[in-house]
Amino acid sequence: MIKNKIGEMENLFKEYRLTPKRKLVLEIFLENKERHLSAREVFRLSREKGADIGLATIYRTLELLEELALLHKLNFGDGRSRYELIPVNDEEHHHHHLICLKCTRIFEVKDDLLQQLESVVENKYNFKIVNHNLQFLGYCSKCRQSEK
């Protein structure tokens, strides 16, 4: 399945070569779809796979994959960028994030409750929305429980 997804993504590279190291980074994201990976986490996961890839190469690859709209860069206010895979097709709509201000855990909200709002905004402002980003900041149940 991962090889099929990589094959679909190869078409998006156009003037860029899909080098083995770029392919490795894509594979890491495909294997960790539910996670929001930083460059250092990608580096660690690549080392666990036995790959010889430098951190600078990973940073450059992440920038390229973001430019090619394969990855979405996220900033959760903790000083490091994280990335998540953008679906190749429109099967999945963008999800939202709950960010705990104490333990910094990130939870995904799979429900897209903004579809109606998007429709109203598109009609009112004659604006075609292709994506949106929504983050809720607060405290998870585990952190709230430890406060008691």
Radius of gyration for the alpha carbons in the chain, expressed in angstroms and rounded:
17
- Segment 100-144, tens digit of pLDDT: 888 888 887 877 778 888 899 999 999 988 777 778 889 999 999
| CA proximity to 23, closest of 41, 47, 6 | 6
**Is there a single domain that holds both residue 80 and residue 104?**
no
**Is there a single domain that holds both residue 84 and residue 101?**
no
How many C-beta atoms surround the C-beta of residue 84 within 10 A? Answer: 20
pLDDT band at 3 (very low <50, low <70, confident <90, very high): low
- Segment 55-95, tens digit of pLDDT: 999 999 999 999 888 888 888 777 789 998 876 655 555 67
**Is there a single domain that holds both residue 25 and residue 73?**
yes
Domain tally for the chain?
2
* CATH number of the domain where residue 98 is located: 3.30.1490.190
Instruction: Determine contact, residues 71/65, Cβ cutoff 8 Å.
Output: yes
The domain of 130 spans: 93-148
DSSP conformational letter for 66:
H
Report phi then psi at 83, rounded to 5.
Answer: -130, 150
**Among the ranges given (17-21, 35-39, 43-47, 106-110), the one the predictor scored with the smallest mean pLDDT:** 106-110
Q: Which of 55, 76, 92 is the last residue of a domain?
A: 92
Going by C-beta distance under 8 Å and a sequence separation of 6 or more, which residues neighbour residue 41? 35
